[in-house]
Amino acid sequence: MIPSYGLLTACLAFGAILSQLSCAPGGPDPVVERNKAATKRFFVEVMNEGRFDLIDEMFAPDYTLEGKPFPDSKKWAEALKQKYPDLEFVLEGLIGEGNQVAVWWILDLHDPKAQQQRLSGINLLTFDADGRVESNWEGDLGASVIPDPGSSAAGAAYPEAWLSNNGRLLDGYSGERFQLVYDYPTSAPPKPDDAWNRAAQWPLTRAEVAPYMTALRAYVYDSLLPVEFRPERIQRGPDGLGGWYHEPWLAGIYPASETKDNLPTWCGRDFIRGLYFGTPLPENTIPGQTQAYRNYEIVFYNDVGGYHLGRVWNAGGSPSFGDFQFLDGTVVVKLVLTTATDVELLRGAPRWTAYLPSGKECTSPVLTELAAIQLDIVLKDSVHSPETGWIFTTYVYDADNQSTDPWLRMVPLGAMWGDDPGVMPGGELKETVLDPEAPEWFSANLGWGGRLSGPIDLAKGEGSCLSCHATSEFSLDPAAKLEANFVPPGDTPDSEKMARWFRNLPGETPWSGKQGGWMALDYSFVTLGSLAHFHTRADVSTAPSVLRDRERF
């Protein structure tokens, strides 16, 4: 029998089971999908709705529970429902491979004669060739008292997950406000029409990277520019088709903010544009810069990525641990704006106004003008990037570009789909391609050995887009040892840098290895930040993370 754990560490046990069920390559397996559907049907139709007549057709005649014959499934289910008429299982995670399905559930039991409780458990079901359950191993993951109705924790567990801003509002402001878009698609949308792959041949060359990136930028701009990067205005198709979405848990101040350059490092989302702090911009970073500035950012997911977010975050604002891997066709857009609006490099750049901190605390925001400096468009494409699964592209502002639309002055810097393992500085890179027409200053300030990295990113000079994002991992074990850091420490020998930071890791492979319960987040720092904020708010101790427990800058 699977051992018992506390409710708040239920995810760890579920993750241990899932580590035994690797994700099969290619499209969905019809047998796996049939078995997953049967599992969901049992919990929803049989247990929740009381259709016990279905048990005989869903369970094999020789069904066993924890290795022993259990012929009385129907009687057991009927008795449980009779005792708890309003019984309702909530499925928090569901994954399968071959003839097995693992499911994590939560169940609220309302007994007027006893204290009301919330139970959590997991089941590992094995199906026969006819799609019937033939064996079941289950584990009770613990119980907690259900809050009294009317208490702050009743209802949706963490409604603040879905807040649009940090609560710092400007009196008398009558303009448009940022609105979090989180009504994620409930079924997997089709992959977008990849005009970018028709615009260039693979592997990309210096001559083809600009046509590829221009087509990819057009896919983003065609839907986000007309609505001024406010996706709540988009008229979406059925089940959210064609929409763009945001990740939860980035509005509030979790954890308490630290200070950098006399300003707080984290104050959640501002209420006008939904921007949150990205990186500092130390003095003399940009030509002509005479003081320290700051970079703020916002991230958007296309409908395929939004579907993934809906699988990770349930309606109560809690994460469903199990599968953090994005689907092919996911497009993630990160727009970076800076307060360095007076430098010549950003002459004529697109401008936004946001309500951002002006002192050491988050409590003193002011209206602040920002200029667009960098645009990252990241695509999940395991066909053209079979080792990492991702293609990172970076666009930078070109003040000398003659386009009348300032957004079209965000021009290609380059693309990368691997970290070129084994290629030392000075060697020829095969998995990073730079646009020869990119602005000179940006082209001269890249990652390690010329690998792609935005000049204002944390990986500048020492890492790359991929090497940095590969450290996105999470563990529920507070004792787990964190091996990762954004970039190699300054005294790291080149040979160690290469061996550890510049590996082409699959998105499901944690940087620190699986010992300690590390789970890879498929190169997503945004998901890592959301998980860290959720567990801080829930007061659950977890392992350190590169976002929360290391010197960030």
Beta carbons of 456 and 295 less than 8 angstroms apart: yes
Token pair listed for 245 = 């979405």
pLDDT at 77 over 90: no
In 423-545, beta strands by DSSP E: 432-434, 473-474, 519-520
Average pLDDT rounded to a whole number, residues 276-289? 89
Of the candidate ranges 111-125, 326-340, 479-493, the one whose mean pLDDT is the lowest: 111-125
pLDDT digits (tens, 9 = 90+) for 140-179: 544 443 333 333 222 336 888 999 999 999 999 999 999 9
Higher pLDDT, 191 or 461: 191
% of the chain exceeding 70 in pLDDT: 86
Across the chain, what does the average pLDDT equal?
85
Give the pLDDT band (50/70/90) at residue 320. confident
Q: Which helix (H) or strand (E) segment is 546 a member of?
A: none
Phi-psi group of 271: left, alpha or beta (phi > 0 → left; psi -120 to 50 → alpha; rest → beta): alpha
Same domain, 241 and 378: yes
Q: 291 in a domain, yes or no?
A: yes
Q: 543 in a domain, yes or no?
A: no
CB under 8 A, 24+ apart: contacts of 224-233: 224/300, 224/333, 225/407, 229/298, 229/300, 229/335, 230/176, 230/178, 230/179, 231/181, 231/300, 232/179, 232/181
Same domain, 219 and 300: yes
Give the pLDDT band (50/70/90) at residue 296. very high
Q: 529 in a domain, yes or no?
A: no
Same domain, 189 and 283: yes
Q: 470 in a domain, yes or no?
A: no
Helix, coil or strand: residue 371: strand
| Residue type (1 letter), 22 | S
Of the candidate ranges 1-10, 57-66, 203-212, 246-255, the one whose mean pLDDT is the lowest: 1-10
For residues 501 and 448, what is the distance between their CA atoms, to the nearest angstrom?
Answer: 10
Same domain, 112 and 220: no
Token pair listed for 22 = 């690797």
Higher pLDDT, 269 or 145: 269
The domain boundary residue, chosen from 462, 486, 505 = 462
Same domain, 135 and 192: no
pLDDT digits (tens, 9 = 90+) for 339-388: 999 999 999 999 999 999 887 788 889 999 999 999 999 999 999 999 99
Average pLDDT rounded to a whole number, residues 43-69? 90
For residues 501 and 518, what is the distance between their CA atoms, to the nearest angstrom?
Answer: 17
Q: 507 in a domain, yes or no?
A: no
Beta carbons of 265 and 259 less than 8 angstroms apart: yes
The domain boundary residue, chosen from 420, 444, 462 = 462
Same domain, 395 and 430: yes
For residues 113 and 505, what is the distance between their CA atoms, to the nearest angstrom?
Answer: 54
pLDDT at 243: 97
For residues 332 and 275, what is the distance between their CA atoms, to the nearest angstrom?
Answer: 16
Same domain, 187 and 132: no
Same domain, 176 and 45: no
Is the bond leading into 255 cis (omega within 30 degrees of zero)?
yes
Same domain, 217 and 298: yes
In whole angstroms, how far apart are CA 432 and each of 49, 208, 414, 455? 55, 12, 7, 15
pLDDT at 549 over 70: no
pLDDT digits (tens, 9 = 90+) for 171-206: 999 999 999 999 999 999 999 999 999 999 999 999
- The residue segments making up the domain with residue 97 are 7-155
Taking the complete model, does pTM exceed 0.75, yes or no? no
Same domain, 185 and 287: yes
Beta carbons of 204 and 212 less than 8 angstroms apart: yes
pLDDT at 111: 55
Max mean pLDDT among 13-27, 142-156, 228-242, 249-263 falls in 228-242
For residues 483 and 503, what is the distance between their CA atoms, to the nearest angstrom?
Answer: 14
Same domain, 269 and 120: no
Give the residue carrying structure tokens 């300054």.
490
pLDDT at 428 over 70: yes
The domain boundary residue, chosen from 424, 445, 462 = 462
Same domain, 133 and 180: no
Average pLDDT rounded to a whole number, residues 422-446? 95
Token pair listed for 155 = 């209802």
pLDDT at 249: 94
Give the pLDDT band (50/70/90) at residue 65. confident
Q: 330 in a domain, yes or no?
A: yes
Domains held by the chain: number: 2
pLDDT at 517 over 70: yes
Q: 181 in a domain, yes or no?
A: yes
Q: 526 in a domain, yes or no?
A: no
Which CATH number fits the domain that encloses residue 39?
Answer: 3.10.450.50
